[in-house]
Structure 1
C-alpha cells in the first residue's frame, strides 16, 4: 500500500516514468494504479489523440512497441495501456530492447495480472533501471481485516474486528469484492460511522449470528445448543456456507489452541502476539483453552484433518453436508 501511495504521489508531482510494469497475484492495486494513470495524466481533450488501450490477447509485443514509439499530438505525453498483458507471457521478454531506450514522451503501462516476470532475466533488470516495476502480492487471510481497517480509516470510517472478519469469511481475500461491498455501506452510512456486524447483516445480507466465527466461539465455550443451531443454518444455506471453509477455519482455530497450550506466558498481550490475532479475540481463545486440554485439542486437530478430506468428497460415501457437519460437531464436543 505504501508503494502504491508513492507511485501515485510521484505521478502527481510530475515524476513520471516511461514504463509502468504492474504485475502480481492481486489485481486490485494493478487496476488502481492503471486507472489513476488513465484518468489523470492527460486532460480530457488530449486523450482523444494520445491515449490508447490495448489488450494482450489482441496484440504482439512488436505492435505495442510500434504504438509506444509514436509521438504525442499537441500534448506532452501519449499514454499506452496494455490490459491483460499476462496473455503475452510467452513473448514478453522481447520488450527488453525497448525497455533499454524507451520513448520518454510515452507512458507505457502493462497490467500483467496473476503472474510475475522472471526477475533473473534481462527485461526485469532493464525495467528497474528505466521504469517502475510494481508487484502486487496477494494478502493472506489474516492480513485482510487490517487492510479493511486501514482503508476505512483513510475514508473516515471504522469497523469492529468481528465485522471485518465476517467480510473476509464470506468474500475471501478478493480486495475488489470487499471494496465493492464497503462502497455500498458508505453510500448508506455517514462518515464517522463504525461499521458493525449489524450493518453488514442489514445491508449486505451476511448473518451476524450464523457464521463460522460464531460457530468457533460456540465450540470454544462448549455451547452445544448454539453450535447445533449454527450448523443447522449452514445446512439450510449451503451455497453461502461451504463446509470446506468451515473445516479450514476450525482447523486453524484448534491448531492455534495447540500453540496456546505450549506458551509459557499466557497473558493477553503475549497470546495476541504469539498467535498473531487481534487482541479483541484473545479471551475467546483463553476460554477455549480452558475447556479443551492439550491432549483433547490434539485429537480434535486429527479429527479435522479427517473431515477436511471427507468434505472434499474423499471416503465419505457421498454423505450430505448436513450429516457431515453434525458428525463433526458431535466429535468435537464429545
Structure 2
C-alpha cells in the first residue's frame, strides 16, 4: 500500500515531538508521479506547496528509482561534464526539477557484476588499504556479488590484517577460506555460541584443507581479547558505535560479540586465554597432531 501524497505532506509539515527534528522517509517516490510531468501535474500535487515552504525541523528523505535520474549526480559532480549535467537538469520535469534546485541529491547506482572487483578496490582504498586485482577477483569469486556480504567480508579482512596495507589473494584465502562455511570467522562465531560440535567440524575442515592452526590460535586469542575489553566497555555505554571505537571492531559485529559475552563469565574468558596459550605451546613444541590439540583446547573453552 502506498501512503497518500496528502498524508506524506501532513507528516512532513508536523512539528517534532520531544526532539529537535522529525524524519520522514518515503520509498518509491516516483509512484506519486506515474504520468508525464506537466504544469498541471505540478499544480495538482500536494507536494508543490510543501516544496515551496518546507518545514525546517523535518528531514524529508525521498527515495526514487526514476530512470530519468540515472547518472545525474555523476554528471553534475564532474566539472568536465557540468554542461551535460545542466542539460539533464533542465530536461527534468516536476517534481525532480524543483527538488534538485532546493535539496541535496545522492545517487546510489547499481554495481554490475563486472564492476564488483573495482568496487572492492575503491572500498578498501577509502580505508587506506590496497588490494591486488587478483585478490579482488578472488574475493568476488568466494563471496559473490552481494555488496552487503562483500562489505562484511572486507570488515573481517581488516580485523585480520590489522595494520597491513597491501592485501593479496593469500590474505583473502586465509580469512574467507576455501569455503564460506569453514573459515576462522565462522569458527569464532561457533565458539562464541558455545557450539562445540560445529566448532570442531569447522576446525577439522580447516586443518584438513590447509594447515591453519597458528591462524586459528591467533584469531581466537584476539577474539577473546575483544570480548574482555567489551565486558568492561559495555558497563559504561550501550551505544554500539562507541563500543566499536573502544574495542576496535566494526559496529556491525557488536551485537554478535555482545551475544557471545552473555555466554561467558569473566572466569570463563580467563580460562579461554589459558587454554589458547597451552594449545599454542603444544603446537610449537609437541608431536601431537594440531587437530587433537585444538580439540582439547575447544573442549576446555566451551565446556561449562
Q: Give the TM interval when normalised to the shorter protein.
A: 0.3 to 0.5
Q: TM-score, normalised by structure 2?
A: 0.46
Which structure's relative contact order is higher, taking Cα pairs within 8 Å and 6+ residues apart? 1
Structure with bigger strand share is 1
